[in-house]
Structure formats: structure tokens, C-alpha cells
Structure 1
């Protein structure tokens, strides 16, 4: 029988920071659904960006939901030391990548995503970090 590993201090640090970071993404999704244009304008989106949001096909909302809520769920699973955190973060990364493909290659208005490259890079780095961290903790036996 495998010995249970003690929870390292950095798991709590990554988990709490992840709640704030990934919680913002989930909040943004929820507020976009609840407040719509008022939320977009409050976040200083341009009219072109708002129009692009209205032009989203239905499947993009599924992708957006998977990316944002997958990350928040992954963070909760990480804090509960569940190996399924790896899966949730993988779904989140996939959702984010699919949203980039849509925004830069499929969307009829590809200009709406431009100007967001730095933020997209930061989000991508965050997705990779959380997936890597959960995978590393699973390999070390910290996640069950």
C-alpha cells in the first residue's frame, strides 16, 4: 500500500493564488452572461470587441465555459488533492486554445482579438503552469 504524501506548503500557495486568478476568469464569464454589454463596457472593451462577442457561435460559449470554469474547478480539485485536477486543467487549456483558434483564424472579425496578444500570452502561461503543477503533484503522489 502506497504511503500518503504530506501536502507541501506550495500547494496551498498555488491553490489560493489559483482561486483568485481562475476565479476572475469564471467571474468574467458569469458577469458577461448576466450583465452583457454593461460588463463589457465597464471593462473598457471597444465597440468592435463587443460586436465580436455578440457574433460568437453557440459552441464558443461552451469553449469559453470549459476554459474558465475548468480552471476554477481544477483549482478546487487541486486544493482537495484530487488527481482529477490534471484533467480539469487540461480541459481549461484546451478551451483556451480553441478560443484562440476561433478569435484569430475562424472569427469573421479577426481584428477584435488583436491588441489582446499580451493578455493572451499571460493567460496561456497561466494555463500551462497550472496544468504542469497539477501533473507534477500527481506524479509525486501528492494528488490522490
Structure 2
């Protein structure tokens, strides 16, 4: 049996923060697709109306993005090698949904806060994928 490398304390901090971050992404997804009135009341009406026009296949890729991210984070907690694959699936979902939204001429105007959130999502998704690959190579993930 191959002995796995010891996970440093900062590994666990990253894994827990990844669960919290991706858990919020899943919460946002569920509240949005179930049309939770209280949650959606914080968004502009035109944005909520736009959500109703999204094709089902795109909503599926959104689910892959947030679900893959949460799965990857939970797999980090288990120190499972499949974490990297899950983060890869998450990134695929992010790529497809982002490209669709950037190209959609009917999408509502975005604010600088929206751009900042999108940049943060991209940076964190890429960082988690790279982190999981590094931990896989280091033998922390089994």
C-alpha cells in the first residue's frame, strides 16, 4: 500500500474555505432555479426576468459548475484524488456559462461589482483546480 503524504494545516484551511465558497455557489443556484422570492428580491427585476429566458442546457452547465466545485471541495476534505476531476468539471461549467453570457446580446447590463464577482469566481475556480492538481502530484490526495 502506498503511503500518502501528510496534509499540512494550510491544506485543511483551503479545503474548508473551498467548501464554504462552493457551498454558497450551490445555495445561489438552488435559490435561483427554485425561484425563491425572498432571495431573488435582492436582484434587479430585469435580471430575474433574464433568468427566465436561459435555456435549460445552460442551467445544466451552471449546475455542473457549482456542483462540480462543491464536489471537488468535499473531495479535498476526504483527500480524494477525484477532487481534481471535479474541479475540472466545475471549470467546464464555468467556461460554458461565461461564454454564453458574454455573447448574449439580450443579457442585462453588468455593473463593476458583477465584473469583480465574475473575476473572483474565475480566479478561485482556477486556483482550486491548480491546488488540487498540485496536491495530487505531492501525494496529499490519494
Report Cα offsets for 1:60-114 as digits up to 9, x if no partner: 1111100111100100111101110001001111111111111110x351335x2
> Which residue in 1 is equivalent to 2:73?
75
After TM superposition, the score normalised by the length of structure 2 is 0.91
Q: How many residues align?
A: 140
SS at match of 1:66: helix
Matches for 1:1-144 after TM superposition, within 5 Å? 2-41=2-41, 44-105=42-103, 107-112=104-109, 114-115=110-111, 116-144=114-142
SS at match of 1:141: coil
Inter-partner Cα distance in structure 1 for 2:121 and 2:29: 15
CA contact (8 A) 1:37 1:50 kept: no
CA contact (8 A) 2:50 2:108 kept: no
After TM superposition, the score normalised by the length of structure 1 is 0.90
Any unmatched runs of 5+ in structure 1?
Answer: none
Structure 1 position 37, deviation (Å)? 4.4
Structure 1 position 14, deviation (Å)? 0.6
Inter-partner Cα distance in structure 2 for 1:36 and 1:56: 17
Inter-partner Cα distance in structure 2 for 1:20 and 1:61: 22
Q: How big is the alpha-carbon RMSD for the aligned residues of Structure 1 and Structure 2?
A: 1.4
Inter-partner Cα distance in structure 2 for 1:95 and 1:9: 30
